Chains A and B, each alone.
Chain A
């Protein structure tokens, strides 16, 4: 099963969410009130480590395990990043959770977050439904 390896990486990601308390509503509120460095430390460190890793991959032209070139496509710039970003930020503060931690919260036993998750999937669907009428 070639997809099983992604399941294992996901498990690691989920464990980190719990162990670093990123899935905590409280941590997100400390962050948005600038009362703790914790979340900024995590996101900042993650960005730096990711940046260095990609620099090394590019510098030594490292290929995937199956020998493909590693390609990172540029993201398309549009107004969605502004409007969508603001909307996402509001939801992030209300639920105390971005999509990754949602999965980990349900796994960690907060079954009620299943409602948040279903609503997020419905929000995703509604975006697809009205996409062409929105400013981009």
Chain B
């Protein structure tokens, strides 16, 4: 059994388990799947600065911080004890294109040529960590949710705003991956 868990999982297995998290949270206490709101709660707790958007009863939402802390722990547990290889098998065509941008190390789940501590104070680090992270936080709050809250929870409950948001996520991502990043990689 443990050996089976240690292998990379099929997408249908992973998709089914993620889908089941929605009813589990509902049954446990009427909670709606969502991750990005945890960052709003952190702002509300630590830096509300009298901003109306951060002045609400965050104590009622504290379950969400337990949930995201769990995701952090789950990441640790799986990487440390439940994985037999770091290497991931990605499409050859993707590999070729990325190699053209100088991303040649496919030995980890993340490209070490971008996501390494040495890159923190470089232009590359500033763009991929600081700018990228800022857009993820700003954009998900502006859109009212992220992939979990809109694309999974929202679409599966037939909410039109979530379908619109998901389409815009994809448009932004397609444009960035195929048009912006190829230019960025020429310079940094």
Contact = CB atoms under 8 A, between A and B. Distances in A.
B18 interface: yes
A14 B75 contact: yes
B117 A112 contact: yes
Interface string B18-59: 111111111111111001101110110001010101100000
Interface residues on A, range: 35 or more
A123 B114 CA distance: 21
Contacts, number: 495
Contacts of B106: 26
Given A19-B82, A84-B143, A110-B115, A122 B90 contact: no
Contact of A115 (B22, B38, B67, B130): B130
Interface in A76-111: 76-78, 80-100, 102-111
A14 B150 CA distance: 19
B111 interface: yes
Contact of B141 (A47, A106, A123): A123
A20 B137 contact: no
A5 B130 CA distance: 33
A93 B173 contact: yes
Q: Give the 9 A-B CB pairs with smallest separation, nearest first.
A: A10-B70, A14-B74, A89-B172, A45-B15, A49-B19, A85-B168, A84-B142, A107-B75, A123-B137
